[in-house]
Structure 1
Amino acid sequence: MSANGAGVAGEDWVPSELERERRAYRRGRAVRSAGISAASTLVLVGVVVALVVTSPGWPRVRETFLDPDKAVEAFPAVVEGLWLNIRVMLVCGVVIALLGLTLAVMRTVRGPVAFPLRLFATAYVDLFRGLPLLLVIFVLGFGAPALRLSGLPSSALFWGACALVLSYSAYVAEVFRAGIESVHPSQRAAARSLGLSYGQTMRHVVLPQAVRRVVPPLMNDLVSLQKDSGLIAVLGVIDAIRAAQIETATDFNFTPYVVAGALFVCLTIPMARFTDHVARRQGFHGAGGML
């Protein structure tokens, strides 16, 4: 009872027998579902493993791709190369976000005076979304240094990173543009009626809402960038993949490639799960499946 004699709602509430039965039933169903899921997964994994290890070529594959001694030997070099991939991803990610946002704003700016900006942004996005990333890396990595542009490095790492930025910024620009256009026009009208300029409306009203809405797809692009950063190895940059290739060339044992792949997966899976978590918080309940 409270001070004025009234009962506090829910203070002495006890679930009924029916409610307790319902809770017990739901717990039982959850335990049963978890058990069936675990059993089916174990059976499937067991069948796949049995098929692999009983195949005629398994001893040779195990020796060539899963040699533990070779893995230990190659691990330091591959990890050192992976650190380069991580740095490339972080630096390029920041530049891509800024360039992509700029292109998105250019594509959504209104008025005939801004037509050249819209035309440039549209042509840029169409061009670099149409070109394969590997082709852009080849063209910039082998062609741009031959121009001997003053003030710009001629290293393969620099131009490989530029290729990543140019290609990914086209995709990120479209993500940002989708977020900008998802903001209802009434938001712009209300801001302009309050005396805000076009730039102030974009900065204080439109962009904050747009960026929040596109965080999950942007993080998915970051996951893809983390993997595609390994493509700069085709220019001779010693990243994780190139380091694995060098280690493999000594005795033609391909275990270093498996080590590099495992390290990339160890980076990608936590980023993917964090992306799913952010997506669920944003309301995308279907993102990431049931994991």
Structure 2
Amino acid sequence: MVALASTVVFAVAAWLTITNAPGWPRVQASFFDWETAKKSLPALLDGLWLNVRVLVVCGILILVIGLAVAAVRTLRGPVWFPLRALATAYVDLFRGLPLIICLYLIGFGLPGLRLNGIPNDPVVLGSIALVLVYSAYVAEVFRAGIESVHPSQLASARSLGLTHAQTMRIVVLPQAVRRVLPPLLNDFVAFQKDCGLISVLGAVDAVRAAQIESASSYNFTPYVVAGLLFVVLAVPSSRLADWVSRRAARRQNAGGPGA
């Protein structure tokens, strides 16, 4: 009850402070115009549908590539050193490279080569950049999960005659995925927002649609609407990530399977 009351008091105080500011009427007209919001909403929803499609397709590719890179980085033996070094270099490069720079390099650099088969579609080029960067982050999450499995379980599986591939598929990966599911979902929430960055290449997603609508109406309300749409898209994922994190914590505290 005290927490609720303090929250209400703070919200009311913040609202009164903002609405009584000298520049509030101008800000309200520029950022919170209802008619502009209604007029721009259809275009923004069309753009958001593009973001959702990019999110789904790239999300699947990121999981597959990230898991493959993580598996390569956990290979043992000198014969696998070239692959391990290549995977490590890939992770170091794309984890250190800012996403916006990667988007520019891929989006404008690849078409500039003028090679046959190189796409010119900004959606495809932006998706490639997103997959390259986020696969590096997800690979490290998967690698942490794989290396968290106790070596005795790997030794037991090999003593039963399982191959390395069978050991990974039957013993290691099921445990690793359960353990890293909360951080994976957090990365997914961040990825939902970063899908809007493909607009810098000219893709007409929700952000680019907001820019077009804002330029035609001389009003910033479309940006606010686009931001709210991304929030609505991210809230279910955020709550799912919280639920999975609490469930994993309860299982670990209870000493359940996979803890």
Quote the residue 1:113 is aligned against: 79
Q: SS in structure 1 opposite 2:204?
A: coil
Quote the residue 1:82 is aligned against: 48
The answer to whether the aligner puts 1:260 opposite 2:187 as a matched pair is no
Quote the residue 1:69 is aligned against: 35
Quote the residue 1:154 is aligned against: 120
| Deviations, residues 201-251 of structure 1 (Å, cap 9, x unaligned) | 111111111011111111111111110000000001000000000000013
Quote the residue 1:171 is aligned against: 137
The answer to whether the aligner puts 1:45 opposite 2:11 as a matched pair is yes
The answer to whether the aligner puts 1:96 opposite 2:62 as a matched pair is yes
How far is the alpha carbon of 1:284 from its aligned partner? 6.4
Q: Conserved in 1, the CA contact under 8 Å of 2:47 and 2:206?
A: yes
Q: Conserved in 1, the CA contact under 8 Å of 2:36 and 2:217?
A: no
Q: Which amino acid aligns with 1:94?
A: I
Q: Distance in 1 between the 2:28 and 2:142 partners? A: 46
Quote the residue 1:8 is aligned against: none
How far is the alpha carbon of 1:58 from its aligned partner? 0.1
Higher helix proportion (structure 1 or 2) = 2
Task: Give the aligned length.
Answer: 251
User: Which of 135, 141, 149 lines up with 1:183 in the alignment?
Assistant: 149
User: Which of 218, 238, 241 lines up with 1:272 in the alignment?
Assistant: 238
User: Which of 212, 215, 218 lines up with 2:178 in the alignment?
Assistant: 212
When residues 115 and 284 of structure 1 are mapped into structure 2, their CA distance, relative to the original with a 3 A threshold, is farther
| Deviations, residues 111-170 of structure 1 (Å, cap 9, x unaligned) | 000001110010000000110000000010011012233334221111100000000000
Any residues of structure 2 matched to 1:123-138 within 5 Å, and which? Answer: 123-138=89-104
User: Which of 28, 46, 60 lines up with 2:26 in the alignment?
Assistant: 60
How far is the alpha carbon of 1:80 from its aligned partner? 0.5
User: Which of 146, 165, 168 lines up with 1:202 in the alignment?
Assistant: 168
Unaligned runs of 5+ in 2: 252-259
Q: Distance in 2 between the 1:226 and 1:239 partners? A: 13
Unaligned runs of 5+ in 1: 1-34, 286-291
- Is 174-183 or 273-282 further displaced after alignment? 273-282
How far is the alpha carbon of 1:270 from its aligned partner? 1.5
Q: Distance in 1 between the 2:53 and 2:187 partners? A: 16
Q: Conserved in 2, the CA contact under 8 Å of 1:140 and 1:160?
A: yes
Q: Which amino acid aligns with 1:111?
A: G
Q: Distance in 2 between the 1:45 and 1:155 partners? A: 45
Percent identity over paired residues: 60
Two-structure CA RMSD over aligned residues (Å): 1.0
| Deviations, residues 35-62 of structure 1 (Å, cap 9, x unaligned) | 2111111100000000000000000000
Q: Distance in 2 between the 1:255 and 1:128 partners? A: 34
Quote the residue 2:254 is aligned against: none
Q: Conserved in 1, the CA contact under 8 Å of 2:30 and 2:219?
A: yes
Quote the residue 1:233 is aligned against: 199
- When the two structures are superposed, what TM-score results if normalisation uses the length of structure 1? 0.85
- When the two structures are superposed, what TM-score results if normalisation uses the length of structure 2? 0.95
